[in-house]
Amino acid sequence: MDMTRRPRRLRTDGVRPLVRETELSASDLIAPVFVDATADERVPIETMPGHERVPVGDAVSRVEEVLETGVEAVMVFGIPESKDERGSRAWAEDGVVQRAVRDVTAETDAYVITDVCLCEYTSHGHCGVLEETAETDPDLTVRNDETLELLSKTAVSHARAGADMVAPSSMTDGMVGAIREALDDEGHSEIPVMSYAAKFESAFYGPFRDAADGAPAFGDRRHYQMDPANAREARREVALDVEEGADVLMVKPALPYLDVVRQVREDYDHPVAAYNVSGEYAMLHAAAEKGWLNLEEVAAESLLSIKRAGADLILTYFAEDVADRL
Ligand code: PBG
Which residue numbers belong to the known binding site for 5-aminolevulinate?
Answer: 209, 221, 278, 317
DSSP 8-state secondary structure symbol assigned to residue 142: B
**Residue-by-residue DSSP string for 235-259:** HHHHHHHHHTT-SEEEEESSGGGHH
Residue numbers in the known binding site for Mg(2+) are: 237
* Tens-binned pLDDT, residue by residue, of the chain (326 aa): 677 888 899 999 999 999 999 999 999 999 999 999 999 999 999 999 999 999 999 999 999 999 999 999 999 999 999 999 999 999 999 999 999 999 999 999 999 999 999 999 999 989 999 888 777 777 778 899 999 999 999 999 999 999 999 999 999 999 999 999 999 999 999 999 999 999 999 999 999 988 888 788 888 888 899 999 999 999 999 999 999 999 999 999 999 999 999 999 999 999 999 999 999 999 999 999 999 999 999 999 999 999 999 999 999 999 999 999 98
Within 8 A by CB and 6+ apart from 250, the residues are: 167, 194, 195, 196, 197, 198, 199, 272, 273, 274, 275, 315
Tell me how many degrees the CA angle 289-302-287 measures, rounded to the nearest 5: 15
The architecture of the domain spanning 25-325 is Alpha-Beta Barrel (3.20)
Residue nearest to atom 2 of ligand 1 (CA): 169
Instruction: In whole angstroms, give the CA distance from residue 89 to residue 55.
Output: 16
Catalytic residue among 83, 153, 199, 307: 199
